[in-house]
Amino acid sequence: MSLMPSPRRTRSVRWCSPASPTAPARRIGSSAASWRNRLETRPDGAILPRTFRGSRGGQFAFMGLTMMIASLKNWKDSVAPWYSATGLASLVMGTSSVLIPLMIAEVLGRSVGAVGILSSAVSLIGVIGSLIWGRLSDAAERRKPFIVLSYAMLSLSFLGIGLSHAFSTVLTWNMVLNFFWAANASITVLIVIENRERSEWEERIGHLNQIVALGWLSGLILGSAGLGLAGSLLGEKGAIRALFFVLAGGGAGAAILAMRFVPRTKPRFTRRRFRGMIVALGNFLIETGRFRPAHLYHRLNPRRLPELLFCEGGLRRETKIFLWGTLLAFTGFGFFFVPLPILLAQRFGFPSSLVFGYFVVMNAAIVFVYPSVSQRIKRSGNRAIQMRSLLARFGLFLGMGIYLTLSQGVPPTWLLIAFFLVLGASWSFFQLSGVALASRLAKPENRGQALGLYNAVAGLGTIIAGIGSGLTADHLGYGPTVLVAALLVSGAIAVFYRLPAPQPEQGEVQEEKGKPARTEGTMRAEPVSSRG
C-alpha cells in the first residue's frame, strides 16, 4: 500500500482529537524492497560489499578496514567533500565509546556503578537533544551552523574530559558531548538529500552510512593502537589522558572541515517522512551501550504521546506490545554492554588496548554483516529475524553469565573472538528488523511517530540499564548482572512471540517476477516535503 502524509490535525485541549478522514493513498516512490535489492547488489558498494569472508583474530578487523577503504574508491568521485567531517567525527566518537569507561575505571579509580550512572545520564540528555535539535534546525531554516557547533563541542568536551580529575566533571562533559552529538544525528541525513534528486537519496545515505561505519571502526582501531604504543611511554593512565587530547584535536578538525565543506541548504523536509529509507537502512548502525543513533529520521512529538498511547485512533495494540518488547530488549542489552569494558579490563585483566581490540572485532562483524541483512529479512520476515537475533543474544548472555558465576578464569582467545563476532552480527539483524517492525505494525498515519517512539524507548531502556547494571555489578558481581541481561532478553522473546507477523496491505506487490506479496510485504514510501 502506498503512503502520503496524513492531513494536519486541528489540536484541541483534549488528548484525543476527532478522527480525521483518511486521505486516498497514492504511490509516491520505489519500494523499500527495491531499495534493499539495489543496496545489496549494486557493484559500487553503497554500504559494504556482500562478498566479504571473515578471517581470524586481529586480522579480521584490519582486513575489513582494507576492504572498506577499497570499496570507498569505487565511489570516491561521487562523495561530497563534507563527508570527511562526518567521518572524522565518527572516528573520535568511536574511540571515546570505550575510552570514557576506561577513563572512569582506570584513571579515576571508580567502580562500574559510576559507569552506569554516566551511561544513564548521557542517554537521557541524548534523548532530550534528539527532541530539540531537529526542531531548532527546522525553525532556523539552517543546517550548517548546527553541524559546525556539534563538532566544535566534541572538541571542547574531549579537552575537558582529558583535564578532569573528578567523576562529576567527567560526567558533566559527557552530558555536553552527547547533547551536541544529537544535533549531528538529527541533521546530517537531511543535508545528504536536500537539493538532490530523489533517485539519489538511497545511494547517498548508503555512502554516509559507510563513512560513519568506517569512521567508527577506525576510531576503535586508533584506540587499540594508540593505547598500545603510548602505554609503554606514558603508562596506561597517561596514555588514556593523552588520547583524549588527540580526540579533541580530531573534533576541532571535524569542525573546520564542516565549516569549509558542508553545503548551505534550506530545510525542505521539516516533517521528516522518511519511513521507507529507515526501514531499508536503519538508524542504530553501531551498538554503544548508550543512546547514540547514527541518524534520526523522525522527530517524536511528546504532545502526541497521550493520544498515541491511550486514545482510540492511536497506536495499535500490537504496536504497543512491540514497544514493550523493545524496551525489555534494549534494557537487557544495556545490562550487558554498559559494564562490558570494565568487565574486560578488571575481571579478565586485559590491558586497555586489548579491550579496544575486542570491540574492534564486534563492530567489524556489525558492518560486514549489515549489507546482507535486508536480503535475509526479505526471505524470512522481520519477526522471524527479530526472534532469531534475540535467541542468539539470549544464548550468548546466558552462557557468559553462567561462566562468570561459576568460574574465576579467563575464556580462551578464540572463544572470545567467536563470542564478539556473533554478538556484533546479531545486532545488525536486530536493529534493521526492529525499525521495520516499528513501522509496519503501526497505522499509516502514525508510522512516523511510531519510529520516533521506537528511538525514545531505546533510550529509555539504556537509561534504566545504566543505573540497574551498575548497582547489580557493584553489589552482586558481573555474573548476576549478565544473567539479568539474559533474563530481560528472554522476556523480550516472550513478548515478541505474541506478535502477529505484519500483514500485507491492499495494493502491495513484490517486485520479483510479479509474485504476490509476502506475508510481511513491502511498503512504498519516499520522503515528502512538508512545504508542498
Which pTM was predicted? 0.74
User: Are residue 341 and residue 470 in the same domain, yes or no?
Assistant: yes
User: Are residue 337 and residue 243 in the same domain, yes or no?
Assistant: no
Q: What is the CATH number of the domain that holds 321?
A: 1.20.1250.20
In-domain check, residue 274 = no
Domain that holds residue 494: 298-500
User: Are residue 487 and residue 397 in the same domain, yes or no?
Assistant: yes
Instruction: Take residue 368 and report the three cell numbers written for it.
Output: 560486514
Distance CA 111, CA 120 (A): 15
In-domain check, residue 21 = no
User: Are residue 161 and residue 226 in the same domain, yes or no?
Assistant: yes
Distance CA 17, CA 354 (A): 56
User: Are residue 161 and residue 228 in the same domain, yes or no?
Assistant: yes
User: Are residue 253 and residue 346 in the same domain, yes or no?
Assistant: no
Cα-Cα-Cα-Cα dihedral sign, residues 502, 503, 507, 512: positive
In-domain check, residue 54 = no
* Residue whose C-alpha cell is 562490558: 340
User: Are residue 234 and residue 304 in the same domain, yes or no?
Assistant: no
In-domain check, residue 93 = yes
Triad 348, 350, 356: Cα angle to 5°: 120
User: Are residue 260 and residue 363 in the same domain, yes or no?
Assistant: no
In-domain check, residue 24 = no
In-domain check, residue 3 = no
Burial of 14 (0-12, 13-18, 19+ CB in 10 A): exposed
In-domain check, residue 335 = yes
Least Cα distance to 82 among 169, 232, 195, 199 occurs for 195
In-domain check, residue 167 = yes
Q: How many domains are contained in the chain?
A: 2
User: Are residue 181 and residue 243 in the same domain, yes or no?
Assistant: yes
Tens-level pLDDT at each residue, the chain (532 residues): 444 444 444 444 445 544 444 444 333 333 333 333 433 333 333 333 333 333 333 444 454 455 455 545 554 555 677 778 888 988 999 899 889 998 998 888 888 888 888 988 888 888 787 777 766 766 666 778 888 888 999 999 999 999 989 999 999 999 999 888 877 776 776 777 666 666 666 666 767 777 787 888 888 888 888 888 887 788 888 889 999 999 999 999 999 998 888 777 665 554 444 443 343 444 444 555 554 555 454 555 556 665 666 666 666 777 788 888 889 999 999 999 989 999 998 888 888 888 888 998 888 888 787 777 767 777 777 778 888 889 999 999 999 999 999 988 888 999 999 999 999 888 888 877 777 777 777 766 666 667 777 777 888 888 898 889 889 998 898 999 999 999 999 999 998 888 776 655 444 434 333 443 333 333 333 333 333 2
